């Protein structure tokens, strides 16, 4: 296990920065709960993946913001508990039922791992704080392809089935194009890859007709014209993809995306859940959060508390249905 | 000259006192994570990544990159001294590195590995400097058909590993292929032999298997031989006074090996996903095929150590090309570097080098300096490292077991992988005892899943037609080279007056 402790040596630097920037925010945490959080308790922040990944970057960005604006009174100890596609880390949090000081960030595997393996936990078991953003996908073709836009793509796919590459099978990469194709009425062959890099080179080498991917990872290639974006699966197109239609605007809304949110251990006290919901309302207003969202090309989608639990349940059921229909899971 | 001006600009950016300190820190950390079995550069990078928050990006990227190529230097030390690969790309270095040490040539072996690493790394950086745009075309022409053919070419290496007792060799390889089927089937998403375990979703990673087979297997074998009870109890011999420096013969016989392996390693490194491990294995088998005395491979042939060492360092340089020119990480380690770029708000892609010339050329320039620093550190540290082998075996043995277990666990925090490692240790002992080929097993485990996935992707794309392999130009090239190798290598061996069966390469993996 790789365990990292974010010491607070940077407090001074952050303090100075905060003094300069914090004026508009100007208060330190909502005052509704006096007992929670206690400054003596260390917040045990589980990151269910290794350092450097999307989940890790999100957790550390939130912690930076909490630190900078003095939103959390005690120490925060982020630990990377990677393993088993998140099963290890979220299993660790699951075991702390009732503890108000166990917290974690979610990502796509939070929904897909329990579908694939016998994890003791399900996504809806945890105490939901907030969905903060969603990871959405962009469908791209090679920059030298004849296909200029999504209408041409659909028209061509109806004539001869195309192949679309994505990462993994029990994954949003597979579910998004499958649902989109059903709605738009074309057929395609899904080609599954182990990593974004293999699938990108496959597309650049003209082996693939098209692929789906997180815009953040391929923005450089889109900017240089090596890849041509056709359609985006989220509700709002990120600034970097201006002019690209969304699936919803074409009338093929699929309503599936990967949740990036915040959870507490199962059965955490009500006051802890309330405190974190109020605090996250402050966090998402900060300019740093805006910067995190735009530099990672996420779609800001904020829902709190029990609505987040409902969202998780719906996403899980949606995934399960599609994956069962193609026989990927039983 | 443009390139020269760019490089000078890069050097001026890289050579500041604080950046040099970062570079040296990175190089040292890299060597250390390389030495610990299982704990590779991607883990070392990931640990230092959070430290670079708020650092100057140029210093930070110099440090992170130094960890990456520094690990290639450190990883070989335990391969040579303990037969335990410190890092996946140094598995092939155990084949001849350990026999060399057993023959009392640990000093020359360590010096030659440092020099070979330096040559590979430096040739790699020179090639990046002058040919980066050209090679970006190579990484752009690799789709599933090419990966499949590349894996098939890699399997030619199996023929070398299998050696004289082909029945035992084939069984070893088949065990490797069988282990490679574990994990979620990429195509359908169904679990194969995962028994509901989340830790097996991703399949059986070859690192715990390699550490167990080579490291623990060797250890058990030494205990079986009663090494812990003998007077000195040392597994390998080392004589500081007489045998530290390589002989003239060592230098002369490996000149061409270094040249060939640098180029081979670099080209394989450029291909995303192939990486340093495959490069080192291919370099080993290529050298053995062209060698005048292939029968010495696996028994302590210097070229057999130099080839994989040069290749893995050249490959780690080569892997920078897709990262810098396309924003595509070719390996786990370069993926962490990519994450670092993203953290600093930079956007890797084809325009990266134009938009951030200072950072890109600063990084390239720092790689020249880093390789020089690592050569010096490695050679000075040799007397220190060889102290390891003076430790009596009854103390060293248990320590190695603990380090192997910790190193394996540190990669994915997986108990299952640790048990697999111990299981592989026991299997490795019996394989060693009865003359099976652990090397063939590991190679099959690496190449099997790669070949299976690439073939299924290819056939999905081509809708079942095998014609795709001859319709694509890059495929045709690889196919041509493979056929040429199959047809001409035995001929070459025969012309050289060597009997084809002379190489008992089951030794190669022992």
User: Does the beta-carbon distance from B339 to A57 stay under 8 Å?
Assistant: yes
| A235 contact B CB<8A | no
State both tokens at B173.
Answer: 């390889």
Per-residue HEC secondary structure of B152-177 comes to HHHHHHHHHHHCCCHHHHHHHHHHHH
User: B64-116, pLDDT tens digit by residue?
Assistant: 999 988 888 888 888 888 888 877 788 889 889 988 888 888 888 999 999 99
Read off the pLDDT of each residue in A278-290 and give the average, rounded to a whole number. Answer: 93
In this prediction, residue B78 carries a pLDDT of 85
Strand partners, B42: none
Q: Which residues of B touch A192 (CB under 8 A)?
A: 186-187, 189, 457
| A189 contact B CB<8A | yes
* B47: closest CA of chain A, how far (Å): 7
Structurally, at CATH architecture level, domain A11-134+257-325 sits in 3-Layer(aba) Sandwich (3.40)
| A182 contact B CB<8A | no
Q: Where are the domains of chain A?
A: 11-134+257-325, 138-241
Peptide bond into B6 cis (omega under 30): no
| B55 contact A CB<8A | no
In this prediction, residue A33 carries a pLDDT of 44
Strand A138-142 relative to strand A210-213: parallel, antiparallel, unpaired? antiparallel
In this prediction, residue A122 carries a pLDDT of 93
Q: Which of B230-239, B340-349, B396-405 has the highest mean pLDDT?
A: B396-405
DSSP state of A78: E
Q: Which residues of B touch A174 (CB under 8 A)?
A: 189
User: B241-275, pLDDT tens digit by residue?
Assistant: 556 788 888 888 888 999 999 999 998 888 876 67
Instruction: Collect contacts of A185-188 with beta carbons under 8 A, ≥24 apart.
Output: A185/A154, A185/A158, A186/A154, A186/A157, A186/A158, A186/A161, A186/A162, A187/A157, A187/A161, A188/A157, A188/A161, A188/A162, A188/A163, A188/A164
Query: What does residue A264 show for φ and ψ, rounded to 5 degrees?
Result: -110, 170
Q: What separation in angstroms does the CA of A84 have from each of A81, A113, B200?
A: 10, 8, 7
User: A52-62, pLDDT tens digit by residue?
Assistant: 677 888 898 89
In this prediction, residue A253 carries a pLDDT of 87
* A64: closest CA of chain B, how far (Å): 10
**Angle at CA of residue B104, ends B98 and B107, nearest 5°:** 80
Average pLDDT, chain A: 84
- Judge contact between B174 and B444, C-beta under 8 A: yes
User: A287-310, pLDDT tens digit by residue?
Assistant: 999 988 888 888 888 999 999 999
Contact pairs from chain A to chain B, CB under 8 Å:
193
**Residue B262 is part of which domain span?**
2-509
Nearest to B183 by CA among B415, B417, B458: B417
Strand A43-47 relative to strand A76-80: parallel, antiparallel, unpaired? parallel
- Judge contact between B301 and B291, C-beta under 8 A: yes
Strand partners, A189: A163
User: A94-138, pLDDT tens digit by residue?
Assistant: 999 999 999 999 988 899 888 888 888 999 999 999 999 988 899
> Is pLDDT at B497 greater than 60 in this prediction?
no
Q: How far apart are the first and last CA of chain B?
A: 50
Helix B2-14 and helix B357-385: axis angle, to 10°? 60
Strand partners, A188: A162
pLDDT band at residue B500, thresholds of 50, 70 and 90? very low
Interface of B with A in 73-132 (CB under 8 A): none
**What whole-number distance in Å separates Cα of residue B214 and Cα of residue A44?**
39
| A200 contact B CB<8A | yes
In this prediction, residue B491 carries a pLDDT of 65
Of the partner residues A83, A117, A296, the one whose CB lies closest to the CB of residue B413? A83
> Is pLDDT at B240 greater than 90 in this prediction?
no
Number of structural domains in chain B: 1
* B18: closest CA of chain A, how far (Å): 20
Which residues are within 8 A (CB) of B474 and not within 5 positions of it... i.e. 6 or more apart? A205, B141, B142, B143, B146
- Counting residues of chain B whose pLDDT is more than 90, the rounded percentage is 23
> Is pLDDT at B503 greater than 60 in this prediction?
no
Strand partners, A139: A212, A231
Q: pTM of this prediction?
A: 0.80
**Higher-confidence residue: B493 or B497?**
B493
Average pLDDT, chain B: 83
Interface of B with A in 195-224 (CB under 8 A): 196-199, 201-202
In this prediction, residue B153 carries a pLDDT of 80
Read off the pLDDT of each residue in B441-466 and give the average, rounded to a whole number. Answer: 89
| A323 contact B CB<8A | yes
Q: Which of A23-32, A69-78, A192-201 has the highest mean pLDDT?
A: A69-78
CATH fold match for the domains A11-134+257-325 and A138-241: yes
Nearest to A166 by CA among A221, A203, A133: A203
Interface of A with B in 77-116 (CB under 8 A): 80-88, 113, 116
> Is pLDDT at B420 greater than 90 in this prediction?
yes
In this prediction, residue B495 carries a pLDDT of 57
**Angle at CA of residue B195, ends B194 and B198, nearest 5°:** 60
Q: Is the ipTM beyond the 0.95 threshold? A: no
CATH of domain A138-241: 3.40.190.10
Q: Please count the other Cβ atoms lying within 10 Å of the Cβ belonging to residue A160.
A: 10
pLDDT band at residue B296, thresholds of 50, 70 and 90? confident
**What whole-number distance in Å separates Cα of residue B55 and Cα of residue B42?**
20
| B141 contact A CB<8A | yes
Read off the pLDDT of each residue in A220-234 and give the average, rounded to a whole number. Answer: 92
User: Does the beta-carbon distance from B412 to A221 stay under 8 Å?
Assistant: no
User: B313-364, pLDDT tens digit by residue?
Assistant: 999 898 888 888 888 877 778 877 887 887 777 777 788 888 888 888 899 9
User: B159-209, pLDDT tens digit by residue?
Assistant: 766 767 888 989 999 999 999 999 878 777 777 888 877 778 778 888 889
User: Does the beta-carbon distance from A295 to B46 stay under 8 Å?
Assistant: no
Q: Which residues of B touch A217 (CB under 8 A)?
A: 327
Per-residue HEC secondary structure of B229-241 comes to HCCCCCCCCCCCC
Is residue B203 helix, strand or coil?
coil
- What is the DSSP track for B418-434? HHHHHHHHHHHHHHHHH
In this prediction, residue A252 carries a pLDDT of 92
């Amino acid at each position: 296990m790789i365990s990292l402790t974010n010491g607070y040596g940077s407090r001074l630097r952050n303090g100075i920065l905060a003094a300069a920037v914090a004026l508009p925010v100007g208060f330190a945490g909502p005052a509704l709960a006096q007992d929670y959080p206690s400054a003596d308790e260390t917040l045990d922040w589980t990151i269910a993946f290794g350092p450097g990944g999307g989940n890790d970057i999100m957790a550390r960005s939130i912690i930076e913001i909490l630190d900078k604006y003095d939103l959390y009174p005690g120490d925060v100890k982020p630990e990377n508990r990677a393993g088993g596609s998140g099963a290890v880390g979220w299993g660790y949090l699951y075991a702390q039922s009732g503890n108000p000081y166990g917290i974690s960030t979610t990502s796509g595997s939070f929904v897909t791992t329990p579908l694939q393996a016998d994890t003791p936990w399900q996504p809806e078991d945890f105490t939901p704080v907030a969905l903060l953003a969603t990871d959405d996908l962009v469908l791209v073709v090679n920059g030298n392809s004849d296909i200029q836009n999504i209408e041409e793509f659909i028209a061509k796919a109806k004539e001869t089935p195309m192949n679309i590459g994505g990462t993994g099978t029990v994954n949003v990469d597979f579910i998004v194009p499958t649902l989109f194709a059903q709605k738009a009425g074309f057929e395609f062959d899904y080609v599954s890859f182990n990593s974004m890099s293999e699938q990108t080179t496959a597309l650049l080498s003209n082996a693939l007709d098209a692929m789906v991917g997180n815009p953040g990872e391929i923005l450089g290639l889109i900017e240089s014209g090596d890849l041509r974006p056709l359609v985006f699966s989220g509700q709002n197109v990120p600034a970097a993809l201006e002019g690209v239609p969304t699936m919803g605007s074409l009338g093929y809304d699929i309503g599936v995306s990967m949740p990036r949110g915040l959870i507490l251990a199962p059965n955490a006290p009500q006051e802890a859940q309330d405190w974190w919901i109020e605090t996250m309302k402050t966090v998402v207003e900060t300019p740093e959060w805006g910067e995190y969202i735009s530099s990672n090309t996420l779609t800001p989608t904020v829902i709190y508390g029990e609505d987040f639990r409902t969202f998780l349940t719906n996403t899980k059921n949606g995934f399960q249905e599609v994956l069962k229909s193609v026989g990927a899971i039983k | 000259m443009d390139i020269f001006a760019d490089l000078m600009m890069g050097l001026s950016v890289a050579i500041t006192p604080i950046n040099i300190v970062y570079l040296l820190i990175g190089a040292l950390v890299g060597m250390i994570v390389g030495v610990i079995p299982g704990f590779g550069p991607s883990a070392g990078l990931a640990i230092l990544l959070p430290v670079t928050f708020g650092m100057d990006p140029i210093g930070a990227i110099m440090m992170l990159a130094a960890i990456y190529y520094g690990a290639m230097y450190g990883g070989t030390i335990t391969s040579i001294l303990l037969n335990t690969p410190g890092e996946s790309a140094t598995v092939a270095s155990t084949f001849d590195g350990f026999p060399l040490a057993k023959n009392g040539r640990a000093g020359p072996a360590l010096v030659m590995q440092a020099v070979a690493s330096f040559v590979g790394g430096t040739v790699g950086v020179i090639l990046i400097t002058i040919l980066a745009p050209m090679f970006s075309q190579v990484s752009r022409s690799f789709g599933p058909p090419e990966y499949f053919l590349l894996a098939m070419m890699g399997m030619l290496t199996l023929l070398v590993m299998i050696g004289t007792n082909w029945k035992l060799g084939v069984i070893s390889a088949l065990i490797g292929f069988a282990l490679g089927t574990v994990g979620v089937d990429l195509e359908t998403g169904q679990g194969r032999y995962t028994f509901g375990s989340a830790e097996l979703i991703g399949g059986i990673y070859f690192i715990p298997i390699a550490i167990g087979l080579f490291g623990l297997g060797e250890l058990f074998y030494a205990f079986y031989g009663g090494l812990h009870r003998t007077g000195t109890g040392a597994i390998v011999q080392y004589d500081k006074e007489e045998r530290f420096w390589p002989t003239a013969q060592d230098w002369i016989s490996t000149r061409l090996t270094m040249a060939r392996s640098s180029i081979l390693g670099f080209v394989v490194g450029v291909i995303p996903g192939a990486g340093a491990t495959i490069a080192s294995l291919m370099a080993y088998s290529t050298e053995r095929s062209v060698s005048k005395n292939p029968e010495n491979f696996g028994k302590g042939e210097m070229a057999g150590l130099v080839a994989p060492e040069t290749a893995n360092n050249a490959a780690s340089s080569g892997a920078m090309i897709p990262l810098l020119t396309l924003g595509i990480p070719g390996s786990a380690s370069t993926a962490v570097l990519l994450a670092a770029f993203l953290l600093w708000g930079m956007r890797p892609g084809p325009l990266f080098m134009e938009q951030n010339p200072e950072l890109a050329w600063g990084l390239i320039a720092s790689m020249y300096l880093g390789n020089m620093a690592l050569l010096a550190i490695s050679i000075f540290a040799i007397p220190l490292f060889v102290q390891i082998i003076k430790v009596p075996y009854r103390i060293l043995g248990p320590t190695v077991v603990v380090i192997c277990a910790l190193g394996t666990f540190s990669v994915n925090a997986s108990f299952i992988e640790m048990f697999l490692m111990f299981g592989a240790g026991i299997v490795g002992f019996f394989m060693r005892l009865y003359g099976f080929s652990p090397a063939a097993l590991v190679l099959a485990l690496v190449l099997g899943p790669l070949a299976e996935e690439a073939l299924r992707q290819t056939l999905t794309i081509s809708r079942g037609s095998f014609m795709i392999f001859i319709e694509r130009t890059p495929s045709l090239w690889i196919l041509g080279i493979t056929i040429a190798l199959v047809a001409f290598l035995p001929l070459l061996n025969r012309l050289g007056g060597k009997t084809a069966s002379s190489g008992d390469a089951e030794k190669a993996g022992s």
